[in-house]
Structure 1
Amino acid sequence: MILWQERSDLQSSEEVNRQPARGARDLLPQDVEDNRWICAQLHYVYRRWGYKELAPPTIERLDTLEAAGAIDENVLLKVATRDALGLRPEITASVARAACTRLAGLPRPLRLWYEGNVFQREDVGGHERVQEELQSGIELIGAPGLAGDGELVAILLDACRQLPFHPEHQPTLLLGHSALFVTLLADFPTHQQAGLRQALSRYDMLQLRSLDLSDADRQRAQRLLRVRGEPEAVLDTLSDFSKAAAVDELRALLELIAERARQAGVRLQLDPTFLPTFTFYDGVVLRLICKGAHALTPVATGGRYNRLLRHFAPGDRDASGTGFSFKVERLRGLLQDHRTALSAQTDVQVLVTYRSPDNLGGAMACLERHHRALVKAELLPSHKVEEETTQGHASPGPQVLVTYDHPMSREAATACVQRHRTAQVEVELWPQPCPTLDAARAAWRQRPLPCLEWLTGARDGSAP
């Protein structure tokens, strides 16, 4: 028990306690709105392909979260309960569990999409961190082979077309095959395969050089490390390494999606040594990578996980599943670099104020009228209420100032002015674009009027 403590120590402790957990952060209103806008674009694509939303629990049993040993328990955030529970580090395992239990009786293929936060524990420089991310993705259960893999990649490419990527992002879809990787490693000494798997999948030349390999094996591994890039060239090179069926699967998939990728502006790259972080994938694997301001950023990951489905449904040897998930936070960061307001809409927003306390009822009625018309509106009390009431300048009726943020919105703003004049409301059109809501508020403070209507312009929020 602490009986006495220096005041400065108390203040320091309070400052620390007011901060989020290490690795966590607060999302500000604009970030929340942009996240929702991005997710809405993705949901539109999912629904168009016939997918239905599933919301698995955030807290699961540890044996589910470990995904048949594919997820290291050290990354799991465990919950202090009598049962062995934890926060999900990803959502695929939870969907697979639900598909094999409560949804087991539904006809296949089963098409599901989800949105939710995932949590991972990290050890950075000896300090524990909590990483929280928002994910949005799909899972296709019961569609084996090329049909399932082709549908998965096609939906991912459609999502890329729906999202406002900038040409500078250079979106690239990286494709691999976990079974092909296993086949390629089989020619190396058994005791070196684990180290090779790690070095090759991480593209770590230093680790590769540190392995105790013969000169022939080392040269072969180094050559394999360089086998990545344009799909046709890689497939031709792979023929020298392996005759695995996975090579034919990748070739058929690439033929199916090549034109769709071109139309979506997504470059295809084949990498036989690519593996996602979680190791429950056992077929085609994929990762969508974009060029950020300072580095390449992975924004989506996925692949086939038949073995995981069979873990939750031991009696079903034909169980199959494939899916992907978008990292929404990373997407938002990329897109915000080129678009100031992803969630900006071409609709009307209203600021309602009043000049006298006696007019508060009228202001509330004004709010209600706009809300019934499905128009966003908020109350903004006048900072000049007392001054104008004292000087007797308060207007007996409502007054409206209409403004807009883009020259293309001037016509809509003019129509709004005409509607108010028809209703015999004193109205004035602001003479120039007002690029943001804050600027609109500033304009109102310069010319205080009880009701300010703000018409937003282009979706990207660009000012003229």
Structure 2
Amino acid sequence: MSIAPGLLPEGLRDRLPPQAEAGSRLLHRVIVAIGRHGYARVSPPLAEFEEGLVAQLKSAGSRDLLRFVDPVSQRTLALRPDITAQVGRIAVTRMGHRPRPLRLAYGGPVLKLRATQLRPERELTQAGAELIGTDSLAAVIEILRVAVEALEVAGVTGITVDLTLPDLVETLAASAMPLPADKIDAVRDMLDAKDAGGLASLGASAYLPFIEAAGPVAPALARLRAIAGPKALDKRIEAIEAIIAAIGYKVTLTLDPTERHGFEYQHWIGFSLFGQGLTGEIGRGGSYTILHPDGREEKAIGFSLFIDPLVDVGLGVVEHARVFLPLGTNPALAATLRADDWITIAALSAEDDAAALGCTHILRDGQPAAL
């Protein structure tokens, strides 16, 4: 059965003018904004050996791999569904000798095996930054500031940062709020689902107050403070207060202390990024560890931004004046116009029509005249 001309696989699409240019422009703006904070860009390959990529992604992202056999090596390769893990590999191998903290930035396409209802596209443009060698509170605040600034430079307004504490249940279960090891995952699931009855049935009623400790950061933090006993909460509360002081004046902050979905491999803090008028997450990040070849784990924190949702709402589109150059126009004059930020459309025949070609001006007597 033949494929209809122009038909693309599910989840893949063409970007046409002006969105294609807008996507390129936004990626450049974001990368430049990140780079001004000292994050040097790296560019890993689109495909790697499956074995190595699976090790970097752990089990979370291995389900997203699109695999194929390399005709040269006869080994199975996989297309990356995420760039973060590749940056980690670079940090502990080719840049393992560099002083820490190591600041790296990246941007490029990723391809997922399957789409989701919220994000039906399988090919996405991802950009971000990774701070390797620490996940301290100071590092968290820096990463959040860089992420917010990068989104602002891209034109995003009404930014919301949703904070979570991914390992909180595990930490409390080992000390202040004991849980049997075989119940920890179930308790996490019940908290994710905000299922009070499920928690009670698991004998984990002590965790019920965490369901209410979610929402706008000020009341959520007050409810978190009201949970008596666990000293582990004190440090987390102090950290959230420091984040509020650092960026609370620029963004809306929300808190869901036990949100786990999508943060399974984050450590003490994770966050999602949202923007006014944009559907779903436009970025996420948090603290994690990178595995060295010698088995040692290194702390890190970073974020990823998704460029496509920004393009879809019209960000990054710049209207340029386009001047039509009649046949015989002096090339030196055309070059001068381009140097002055004009887009020139040169006639290739006497039948070419300026308006039909999308021009806003036509060159008359050596000067652009509005159509």
Please, what TM-score do these two structures have when normalized by structure 2? Answer: 0.82
Tell me the residue number matched to 1:410: none
Unaligned runs of 5+ in 1: 1-9, 387-400, 402-433, 456-464
Aligned residues of 1:183 and 1:242 also touching (Cα < 8 A): no
Of the three residues 183, 188, 197, the one matched with 1:197 is 188
Change (3 A) 1:377 1:112: same
Bigger CA radius of gyration: 1
Of the three residues 330, 346, 371, the one matched with 1:379 is 346
Q: How does 1:46-445 map to 2 (within 5 A)?
A: 46-66=34-54, 67=56, 69-81=58-70, 82-122=74-114, 131-166=122-157, 170-184=158-172, 187-201=178-192, 203=193, 205=195, 214=201, 217=204, 220=206, 223-239=209-225, 240=227, 243=230, 245=232, 247-264=233-250, 266-275=251-260, 277=262, 279-292=264-277, 296-306=279-289, 309=290, 311-314=291-294, 316=296, 319-334=298-313, 336=314, 342-344=316-318, 349-354=322-327, 359=328, 362=329, 364-371=331-338, 375-381=342-348, 384=351, 438=358, 440=360
| Higher normalized contact order (CA 8 Å, seq sep 6+, divided by chain length) | 2
Structure-1 separation of matches of 2:293 and 2:211? 36
Aligned residues of 1:350 and 1:453 also touching (Cα < 8 A): yes
* 1:322 aligned counterpart, secondary structure: strand
Structure-2 separation of matches of 1:172 and 1:86? 34
Q: Report how far residue 154 of structure 1 moved.
A: 1.6
**Percent pairwise identity:** 24
Q: Report how far residue 138 of structure 1 moved.
A: 0.3
Structure-2 separation of matches of 1:279 and 1:385? 58
Aligned residues of 1:351 and 1:379 also touching (Cα < 8 A): yes
Q: Report how far residue 328 of structure 1 moved.
A: 0.5
Structure-2 separation of matches of 1:268 and 1:87? 35
Change (3 A) 1:452 1:303: farther
Structure-2 separation of matches of 1:331 and 1:58? 23
Aligned AA (1:300) = G
Change (3 A) 1:85 1:284: same
Aligned residues of 1:64 and 1:94 also touching (Cα < 8 A): no
Structure-2 separation of matches of 1:221 and 1:252? 20
Aligned residues of 2:271 and 2:285 also touching (Cα < 8 A): yes
When the two chains are superposed, the root-mean-square deviation of aligned CA atoms in Å is: 3.5
* 1:75 aligned counterpart, secondary structure: coil
Change (3 A) 1:155 1:329: same
Q: Report how far residue 83 of structure 1 moved.
A: 1.8
Structure-1 separation of matches of 2:8 and 2:239? 45
Q: Is the helix fraction higher in 1 or 2?
A: 1
Please, what TM-score do these two structures have when normalized by structure 1? Answer: 0.67
Unaligned runs of 5+ in 2: none
Structure-1 separation of matches of 2:131 and 2:154? 22
Aligned residues of 1:112 and 1:138 also touching (Cα < 8 A): yes
* 2:63 aligned counterpart, secondary structure: helix
Aligned residues of 1:70 and 1:279 also touching (Cα < 8 A): no
